[in-house]
Chain A
Amino acid sequence: MVLKANKPKRRSAQDRLSDAATSLCSAALAMNLLMVIALLAVLGYNGLSYFWQRPLVEMHLAGSEVVLGEIHERKPTVDAEAHRVRIKTGNRDVTGSDFRWIDERDIESKSRPESAMVFERMEYGNFYGTIDSLHREDETLVHGDQAWPALQRMLKQKRGEKKSIHRLEKREMGKLNHRIERLRIGILRSDDPGLREQKRVLEAEFEELSQQLFSLRDTYAAEYLVMKTGDGIDHRVPVGDIVRAIPANRQSVLDKAGLYVSRVVEFVVDDPRESNTEGGIFPALFGTVMMVFIMSFAVAPLGVLAALYLREYAKQGLLVRIVRVAVNNLAGVPSIVYGVFGLGFFVYFIGDGIDRMFFSEVLPTPTWGTGGILWGSLTLALLTVPVVIVATEEGLAAVPRIVREGSLALGATKFETTWRVVLPASAPGILTGMILAMSRAAGEVAPLMIVGMVKLAPSLPIDGNYPFVHLERKFMHLGFHIYDVGFQSPNVEAAKPLVFATALLLIVVVTFMNLGAIAVRNRLRRKYATSAV
């Protein structure tokens, strides 16, 4: 028999159809990847471009109006004949709005004046204009070209003044205030004349410091600039109001890069201003991190203990199977249900009980009977415990029975086996569970909305006042920040770039945690890999 080599098969109609179907499948996968890429691209572009300083453009419009600002967007006009641009003109205290749409057909000439400046301010958003002169109270100090270097020197000095004001206000007066408050509560409790006297002394001290603060503030506000807006109107800008003065059109690439970095740092390290539409997100970042921290402390022992119990110590029967099913189910329960439970149980039941027992003088103002970082962390701990239990159980199950039996055979007690052999071997699983829990907690907003988050917390949960850690305080959270600033701020257009930056930061944080989980898991797997016996 001679075996003939087969000719390559001709593609039948059947095959062609199959190919088409396969193409569609691959397209489905490609669509998924495209969606992820698009999302990251949109977020990345919008988030990162928030920090980049755009050039300042001066436009002369038909009708002799002059507009100075940054171009943010370019869209076709409603009748699709031409384009219009969205300019950030700032100067909210002069014109009332930050942005303007200008039809390109109305623009007669465009230029980038060298002397144009943009100021980031404490209030009313950015200011765009040119410097006319620098004043101190009624005295004109410098004019025109010399004003810019003089301003730079003065800004440095202002920064120092601002620091001392801040220290006086926040630290010294804040501390006094805190002590006065505690005395007030003490008086409500016991009406001790000694306490009253102390309170009077402290209040007098506070008055003195207030006077100091007022005079400091007066010196601080003494200097101001007279600026010319695009239209040539004069406007006074107090030097103390200026956070950053940027001669945008005179900057070199190096300058711009330096500005970019400084803005990124400010974003992460500074407090928010202007009702969360400007400044930094440090309190939100801090709140998120602290909450995740507290939550991990709660979740780790609970989850590991429960998983250990289920797998090692409980009698494996119907009851344990039911419990396991229940725990698996709870991992899929919507987070809002946990939020509702947290509100009803932790806040209204336990919190209220604590208030009644220990803080009854301050009632009806709640101390623990309202949302706070502790209740938020505990609610999230409950939310993520099932995840940790499941992951730990899988980790425990991955340890071969042989290893356990070997340890027992060598004379170790069950506890010692668990502690020294099983737990380290299942550490990858436990850690994976923990990090998954933490990254989930960093991103969950819905339950926290109900149990303790606020749009603007006056102080951090950790500060310099006794008892230093205030777990009953409300806190800020990155995720809630996104929701609140994006949807409930009075000026969504101005705030949107900041929200993009915050969203980008949140995603970066969560992604890093997950990648970290994967990396740790891989490393520990290799380290503790028990060779098959």
Chain B
Amino acid sequence: MKPESFRTPRRRLLSDRIARGLVSGGGMATIAGILGILFFIFIEILPLFGSADVALTARFPLDGEEPGAVVVDEHRTHAATFAADGQIVVRSLATGDVTHRLDSGIDPTLGPWKRIQQIPGEPRVAIETAGGDLFALTMDWTIEFDEATRVITPDLSRAVPFDFFDEETARIPLQQFSLAFDDDGAIAGAAITEDGRLLFARQSIEEDFMSGEETTVWERTWREAPGDVSSLLLDRQHTNIFAGTESGAVIWWVIDDGEPQEPRTAENEAPITAMTFLIGDQSLITGDVTGRLGVWFPVPSEGGGDRLGRIRGSTQQKAPIVGLSPSPRDKGVLSVDASGGMALYYSTSNRLLWSGNSPVGASSVLYYAPKANGAIVAGADELALLDIDNPHPEIGWNALFGRVWYEGYDQPERVWQSTGGTDVFEPKLSLTPLIVGTFKGTFYSLILAIPLAVLGAMYTSQFMHPRLRRTVKPTVELMAALPSVVLGFLAGLWLAPRLEMVLPALVAMLVIVPAFVLLAGVGWRSLPNGYRHRFPDGFEALLQLFVIAIAMFVAFRLNGVFEAQVFAGDVRQWLFDTTGLRYDQRNAIVVGLAMGFAVIPIIFSIAEDAFSNVPQNLVSGSLALGANRWQTVTRVVLPTASPGIFSAIMIGFGRAIGETMIVLMATGNTPLMDWSPFNGFRTLSANIAVEIPEAPHSGTLYRVLFLAAALLFVFTFVANTGAELIRQRLRKRYAQL
């Protein structure tokens, strides 16, 4: 034997080295990839909890205009200022140069403009001349494309006059006024006159059917009003007038049939200095002298009817609020106070997203850009363009898990309703109904699955002949392979309609089936021993199969009788009368049955393994000491196997939590927060499946759905790890046996 042949050829050593590198690299990469999933999901969630950022982009000097209002186009290329000398100047926001000077169409002989008011949330301005004439102007922009470059030109509408007073009445100077355009373009206005009265005027255009002639019809109504009104607002639906007073009251008139009704007053505790509406004109925002913001909308009052309730507020700013501008895309509002401070507040989630200082100081002239991505503020001699980065204002801890008082609701509630039909919809993103739904589905399915699976496993492992066990175990394991789509389909389309009709039979089954089973058991045991021993142990299970089938058949046959006797002929009506619960066709019972079916094989396999792993000497010892089979199983085997049973249940629990298809197909998918077994629910997983295809990439809903996925992961992680830990610990405890 030559020494050389003992040395391993280089090639083999090299391939070994390469293999090591490949396997290690590939293995680590795979594992990193799998763990990276969690990392990726958590990264997608993080931006949800960030704040907004408001940054100064540009500032330009004005030549002595002192604008009373400013409007910017949606691409933030031009800004139009409205000044008291009647000048409407359009500037480019890239260079600051004046690009257009527009003619308002208002007769200059009427005098300089005494008041210039921005209509909240719209590119419209209401102007009062020195002579007391009122006009409304709309600033529009036309967009054209000249060889792939965008050209934006201002398009000012003709000034629309608004007459609070008709020809006969003498004009009284107006202390406050507010104009509003509704969706059809009709104008209405509310005003407080200097002699202390409220005036509501509405203009409508009537078309004569015959001649097609259009006539303008005015309705004007008067009411009494307090004298110290500091701000006045009419909403765009022309149904509510709000007034803020210097004594700290907020007064609300409902307009019914063209006439303001009895006012309702609410207290703010500090004089009101500014008011605006949030988008949609459902919520009123007030700013007061202490710097507080308040959010108000109608809520039910004790004596019936509605009152104006202060829902929530912000207390960040310390100086009186001088300017407010609502976001045109969401329920946020920019506020400026007398010390030059500025803040961005979001109503629904009650979050102060940003606070800082206005670059032009304490000016009330500000305008939130149409795409909610910026704002323009104008001081006496300066114009500043701001960039607003506000990706997820709707999210806060309270918005996700707590009760929120949404617009139009009677009280704070937890609601999931991510989209509505309109632009002004308030997204309701509480995850609590979904979490409750998830656990509800899990609960009802485990109620069915645990007894059937554990008892069945116990029987299979302890009482059954090994030969029979060899057929039963794989059958149940095959059950585990059934795709949940099929289960969901059968549950939703086959089981649900039939269940509705045999509900009484189902209740009867709870009594009839055990009765038949026990009788059959007694019957089986009273057979002479000779007969019985012909069949293998565990044959009783097969016998019970027929017995249960017969019992169920009997129960279904008696369904009508049972329904008539016990449920007064109509089980659904009886249910409603007794408990007030409604019965939906696709409900938690159906899901419980289907999901229970899906979970049973998992619990069964693991539990059966646990039972079978109990050392045989324990069983033999117990039997030798005189216990019968049942006592042995319940008092010796069951406690010993309990770690395994427990872990089986936990793993079944984890599986039930994440089940998507069955829930999707067998429930009504309504996000209710209700434990009744007779109505549907929506789980986290089904919600993700339904909503994520439509969720805009990187939007709030998208990230919230990622958050839901992360929650699901956490739940299953806790369940699985808990199961594993307990199993290891209890296994050590019983290991010495």
Contacts and interface: CB of A to CB of B under 8 A. Distances in A.
Contact of B630 (A18, A309, A333, A496): A18
Contact of B629 (A18, A339, A503, A510): A18
Interface in A405-442: 411, 413-416, 418-419, 439-440, 442
B620 to A, nearest CB: 18
B705 A418 contact: no
A479 B664 CA distance: 13
B481 A333 contact: no
A151 interface: no
Interface of A: 14-15, 17-36, 39, 42-43, 46, 80, 301-303, 305-310, 312-314, 323, 325-330, 332-341, 343-345, 348, 382, 385-386, 389, 411, 413-416, 418-419, 439-440, 442-446, 449-450, 479-480, 482-483, 486-487, 492, 496, 499, 503, 506-507, 510-511, 514-515, 518
Interface of B: 8, 12-13, 15-16, 18-20, 22-24, 26-28, 30-31, 33-35, 37, 40-41, 44, 451-453, 455-456, 458-460, 463, 472, 474-476, 478-479, 481-490, 492-494, 513-514, 517-518, 520-522, 524-525, 538, 540-542, 544-545, 547-549, 560, 597, 600, 604, 628-631, 634, 651, 654-655, 657-661, 664-665, 685, 688-689, 692-693, 697, 705-706, 709, 712-713, 716-717, 719-721, 724
A54 to B, nearest CB: 20
B544 A26 contact: yes
A30 B527 CA distance: 20
B548 to A, nearest CB: 6
Pairs of residues from A and B, 3 with the lowest C-beta to C-beta distance, nearest first: A334-B658, A309-B27, A443-B483
A308 B26 CA distance: 10
B53 to A, nearest CB: 24
A483 B489 contact: yes
B40 A341 contact: yes
Contact of A327 (B15, B31, B538): B31
Given A31-B456, A483-B664, A334 B24 contact: no
A94 B209 CA distance: 41
Nearest to B660: A446
Contact of B665 (A18, A313, A330, A487): A487
A310 B27 contact: yes
10 contacts: A24-B517, A39-B482, A301-B26, A306-B30, A328-B724, A338-B37, A348-B697, A414-B19, A416-B16, A449-B689
B709 A336 contact: yes
A340 B545 contact: no
A336 B478 contact: no
A339 B658 CA distance: 12
Contact of B30 (A305, A444, A483): A305
Contact of B23 (A19, A80, A305, A507): A305
Nearest to A504: B486
Given A25-B458, A29-B459, A506-B486, 11 more contacts: A18-B628, A23-B522, A23-B540, A24-B455, A30-B542, A34-B548, A36-B475, A332-B716, A413-B12, A414-B20, A507-B482
A411 B8 CA distance: 8
Contacts, number: 305
Contacts of A307: 27
Given A25-B463, A334-B659, A340-B705, A382 B26 contact: no
Given A27-B544, A313-B20, A386-B34, A511 B481 contact: yes
Contacts of B597: 35, 39
Contact of A33 (B44, B453, B472, B688): B472
A339 B26 CA distance: 23
B44 A344 contact: yes
Nearest to B712: A334
Nearest to A37: B545
B457 to A, nearest CB: 8
B19 A415 contact: yes
- Residue with the highest number of chain B CB atoms closer than 10 Å, among A14, A503, A518: A503
B712 A337 contact: yes
B548 A30 contact: yes
Contact of B37 (A20, A43, A341, A482): A341
A386 B34 CA distance: 8
Contacts of B40: 341, 344-345
Contacts of B705: 340
Nearest to B463: A22
A518 B692 contact: no
B685 A446 contact: yes
Contacts of B8: 411, 413
Nearest to A324: B31
Given A23-B518, A446-B661, A482-B486, A334 B455 contact: no
B712 A506 contact: no
Contacts of A18: 628-631
A327 B34 contact: yes
A307 B8 CA distance: 28
Nearest to A388: B30
Nearest to A499: B489
Contacts of A440: 481
Nearest to B488: A483
A349 B672 CA distance: 34
Nearest to A481: B485
A483 B476 CA distance: 25
Contacts of B481: 439-440, 443, 510-511, 514
A338 B487 CA distance: 21
